[in-house]
Amino acid sequence: MLNPGQISAFERDGFVIVRGLFSNNEVVTLREHFMHLRAEGPKPDDVIADSAQTDDPLVKFPRMIHMHRWDDITRRWLIDPRIGECLHDLWGEEALAVQSMLYFKPPGARGQAMHQDQYYLLVKPGTCMAAWMPLDRCDVENGCMRLIPGSHKWPLLCAAKADSKLSFSGTAVPIPENQPVVDAVMEAGDVLFFTGYVVHGSLPNLTTDRFRRALIGHFVPSSTTELTAYDQPVIRMDGTEARLQAGKFGGPCGEWVDRDGEPVLELAGHEDKPLWERE
C-alpha cells in the first residue's frame, strides 16, 4: 500500500499523509452519516466541552468517541483493509483497533492544545498509532492538524494545563519557543498516520462558514500487552475482539531544560496520575 518514500518520511518525522485513501463519495456518505447521528441527540461517551459559554459551538457539536461499539458504519471504517494495510506497512505487524472518534469542529470552535496520545492510551510496549481522516478540506483557517516533526523520538512529556480560550481539552505539553511545527493541510479522504509520541494539536476554527470534521481511529500493534481499560476490548482487523492487560498510569516524563542556551529534554519528572486527577 505504501511506497518507500512514504515509509521513509514516517520513520523520519513520525507521521505521513496518504493522499486520497478514501474516495469523495465515501467521504460524503460518512459526513452525512455522522451529522445525522449528531442531530439525533446525545450518544454514549459523548465528550462535552468544558465551557461556561452556552453559545460555545462545541456544546452543540460535542466530540463522539467509541462509536464503533454501537455504530456499524464506524466499525467498518475502523477495520477497513486500506487502513490495515497502511498500518502493517508502517509497523511490520498486524494492528488492533482500540478507539474511534469524530471531531465536528464547527465555525468558531476551539482547537486542542499540543499533546501526545500515549499520555491517554498507556500502551506497552511501544505506543499507539492514529489514522486521522478529515471529512472536509482542512487548512490553517479552519484549524487543521499541527504536528512537530521528529517528536516521535521524544519521551512522554510532563503534562501541563492548557489555555481554555484556545483548547477544549485541559491538557497540554510545553514545547520550546521557535520549535518548528508543520500544518497538515489535507483534502477530505486523505489519511494522516502518526504515532502516539508525536506532539500534535490544532488551533481554533477561525472561519464563519466551514466545519473541520475529522474521523479518527487509534490502533496498537498486535504485540501490545497493555492498554488503558477504557479502550477495551480491542478489535482485530478481521472484526473479532480481544482483551489486553489494563495499563497503569505512572512513570518518568520529559521536561525541557536550558543547556548552553539550547532547550534539551531530560527525564526530570514523574507522572503518578493523569492531570485531570491531580488536586
Whether 58 is covered by a domain: the verdict is yes
- Which amino acid belongs to residue 9? A
**Is 268 part of a structural domain of the chain?**
no
Q: Is 273 inside any structural domain?
A: no
Residue 266 lies in a domain: no
Alpha-carbon torsion (19, 22, 24, 28), positive or negative? negative
44 or 276, higher pLDDT: 44
Residue 105 falls inside a structural domain? yes
Could you tell me the CA-to-CA distances from 126 to 171, 219, 226, 232, 245 in Å, in that order? 22, 12, 10, 17, 14
Q: How confident is the model at residue 212 (pLDDT cuts 50, 70, 90)?
A: very high
Banded model confidence at residue 277, pLDDT cuts 50, 70, 90: confident
Q: Which of 103, 116, 119, 67 is nearest to 235 (CA)?
A: 67
Flag whether 274 is in a domain.
Answer: no
Q: Which of the two residues, 251 and 223, has the higher pLDDT score?
A: 223
The answer to whether 80 touches 74, Cβ cutoff 8 Å, is no
Q: Following DSSP, what letter does each residue of 197-251 receive, concatenated?
A: TS-EEE-----SS----EEEEEEEETT--EE-GGG-SEEETTS-EE--EEP---E
Asked if 192 and 135 count as a contact pair (C-beta separation under 8 A), the reply is no
Check if the beta carbon of residue 224 is closer than 8 Å to that of residue 93.
no
Residue range(s) defining the domain that contains residue 91: 4-248
Confidence of residue 215 (pLDDT cuts 50, 70, 90): very high
**∠ CA(31), CA(33), CA(39), 5° rounding?**
100
Q: What are 76-98's pLDDT values in tens digits?
A: 999 999 999 999 999 999 999 99
Contacts for 246 with CB less than 8 Å, ≥ 6 apart: 226, 227, 228, 229, 232
Query: Among residues of the chain, what percentage have pLDDT more than 90?
Result: 81
**CATH code for the domain in which residue 8 is found:** 2.60.120.620
Average pLDDT over residues 155-180: 92
Cell numbers 493541510 correspond to 185
Other CB atoms within a 10 A radius of the CB of residue 3 amount to 10
What's the mean pLDDT when you consider all of the chain? 94
Q: With bands split at pLDDT 50, 70 and 90, how would you rate the model's confidence at 271?
A: confident
Q: Measured between alpha carbons, how far is 56 from 107 in angstroms, rounded to an integer?
A: 10
pLDDT for position 279:
61
User: How far separated are the first and last CA of the chain, in Å rounded?
Assistant: 47
d(CA 23, CA 56) in angstroms, rounded, equals 32
Other C-beta atoms closer than 10 Å to the C-beta of 164 total 15
Does the structure show a pLDDT above 60 at 162? yes
Domain count, the chain: 1
Across 260-270, average pLDDT: 85
- pLDDT at position 258 is 84
Q: Examine residue 173 and state whether it is found in any structural domain, yes or no.
A: yes
pLDDT tens-digit series, residues 107-161: 999 999 999 999 999 999 999 999 999 999 999 999 999 999 999 999 999 999 9
Q: pTM for the whole thing?
A: 0.95
CB 142 within 8 A of CB 183: no
Highest mean pLDDT (candidates 114-118, 245-249, 275-279):
114-118
**In the predicted structure, residue 1 carries a pLDDT above the cut 70:** yes
In a domain, 267, yes or no: no
Write down the residue that cell numbers 474511534 correspond to: 100
Q: What is the pLDDT of residues 29-68, one digit of tens each?
A: 999 999 999 999 999 988 876 655 667 899 899 999 999 9
**Can you tell me the distance from the alpha carbon of 58 to that of 151, in angstroms, rounded to the nearest whole number?**
29
User: 87, 219 in Cβ contact below 8 A?
Assistant: yes
